[in-house]
Amino acid sequence: MEVCVEHEVPIIITSLRAPKFVVDAVHSYGGAVMHDVINIRHAKKQSMKG
């Protein structure tokens, strides 16, 4: 994660879960987190987290 933040990777893709520290780190430099989910319920849940 440190390398991604250092180089300001514009999009980070997560799966299984999107840890808050990842979301916070990526958002700190204006990046986006895309969370790969398998159904609409999971998509709505992750959408509420930012």
Domain ranges of the chain: 2-49
Backbone angles phi, psi at 21, to 5 degrees: -65, -30
What is the total residue count of the chain? 50
Whole-angstrom distance, CA of residue 9 vs CA of residue 2: 11
- Predicted TM-score (pTM) of this structure: 0.76
Sequence-ordered list of residues with C-beta below 8 angstroms from that of 36, at least 6 positions apart, any chain:
13, 14, 15
Both structure tokens of 33 = 């987190």
> pLDDT-derived band of residue 47, with 50, 70 and 90 as boundaries?
confident
Name which of 9-13, 17-21, 25-29, 38-42 the model is least confident about: 17-21
